[in-house]
Amino acid sequence: MDPRLLEILVCPLCKGPLDYRKEAQELVCKPCRLAYPIRDGIPVMLEDDARALGAEEE
Protein backbone atom coordinates (compact mmCIF):
# COMPACT_ATOMS: atom_id res chain seq x y z
CA MET A 1 0.00 0.00 0.00
CA ASP A 2 1.24 3.44 -0.95
CA PRO A 3 2.33 5.27 2.22
CA ARG A 4 1.09 8.57 0.75
CA LEU A 5 -2.42 7.22 0.84
CA LEU A 6 -2.88 7.32 4.59
CA GLU A 7 -1.67 10.89 4.87
CA ILE A 8 -4.86 12.31 3.41
CA LEU A 9 -7.26 9.39 3.76
CA VAL A 10 -9.83 9.83 6.51
CA CYS A 11 -13.01 8.14 7.67
CA PRO A 12 -15.78 9.34 5.33
CA LEU A 13 -18.17 9.64 8.30
CA CYS A 14 -16.22 11.40 11.06
CA LYS A 15 -13.29 12.62 8.91
CA GLY A 16 -10.91 11.28 11.55
CA PRO A 17 -7.65 9.37 10.98
CA LEU A 18 -7.56 5.65 10.15
CA ASP A 19 -5.41 2.75 11.33
CA TYR A 20 -3.99 0.53 8.63
CA ARG A 21 -4.26 -3.19 9.52
CA LYS A 22 -1.94 -4.91 7.11
CA GLU A 23 -2.87 -8.54 7.82
CA ALA A 24 -6.60 -7.92 7.51
CA GLN A 25 -6.17 -5.41 4.67
CA GLU A 26 -8.47 -3.01 6.45
CA LEU A 27 -8.54 0.64 7.43
CA VAL A 28 -10.04 1.03 10.87
CA CYS A 29 -11.85 4.02 12.34
CA LYS A 30 -11.89 3.47 16.11
CA PRO A 31 -14.44 6.19 17.03
CA CYS A 32 -16.92 4.91 14.40
CA ARG A 33 -15.96 1.27 15.14
CA LEU A 34 -15.80 0.51 11.42
CA ALA A 35 -13.25 -1.39 9.33
CA TYR A 36 -13.07 -0.37 5.67
CA PRO A 37 -11.79 -3.16 3.41
CA ILE A 38 -8.95 -2.75 0.90
CA ARG A 39 -9.80 -4.81 -2.17
CA ASP A 40 -7.39 -5.26 -5.07
CA GLY A 41 -5.30 -2.47 -3.59
CA ILE A 42 -8.19 0.03 -3.59
CA PRO A 43 -9.60 1.21 -0.25
CA VAL A 44 -13.38 0.85 -0.21
CA MET A 45 -14.43 3.91 1.77
CA LEU A 46 -18.17 3.33 1.81
CA GLU A 47 -20.13 2.96 5.04
CA ASP A 48 -22.27 0.20 3.51
CA ASP A 49 -19.20 -1.89 2.70
CA ALA A 50 -17.49 -1.40 6.05
CA ARG A 51 -17.36 -4.10 8.70
CA ALA A 52 -18.57 -3.20 12.19
CA LEU A 53 -15.86 -3.91 14.75
CA GLY A 54 -16.76 -6.64 17.22
CA ALA A 55 -17.22 -5.73 20.89
CA GLU A 56 -13.84 -7.25 21.84
CA GLU A 57 -11.90 -5.76 18.92
CA GLU A 58 -9.51 -2.87 19.44
Partner 1 sequence: MSADAVSDTWEQGSPYERYIGRWSRRIAPGFLAWLDAPANLRWLDVGCGTGALSAAILDRCTPSGLMGVDPSEGFLGLAAQHLGPRALLRTGSATALPLDDGSCDMLVSGLVLNFIPEVSAALAEMKRVTAPGGAIAAYVWDYADRMEIIKRFWDVAAALDPEAARLHEGVRFPLCQPDALQAAFEASGLDQVATTPVEVTAKFPDFDDYWAPFLGGQGPAPAYLMSRSDEQRAEIKARLAAALAPDAGRGFSLAARAWAVRGRVPDAT
Contact positions toward partner 1, by CB under 8 A?
Answer: 2, 4-5, 7-13, 15, 36, 39-47, 49
From residue 5, give the alpha-carbon distance in Å to each of 34, 47, 57.
18, 19, 24
Closest approach, Cβ 57 to partner 1, in A, equals: 21
**Quick one: 4 or 56, whose CB is closer to partner 1?**
4
d(CA 16, CA 39): 21
Of the CA atoms within 13 Å of residue 52, those in its CB half-sphere come to 3
**Quick one: 8 or 55, whose CB is closer to partner 1?**
8
Closest approach, Cβ 12 to partner 1, in A, equals: 4
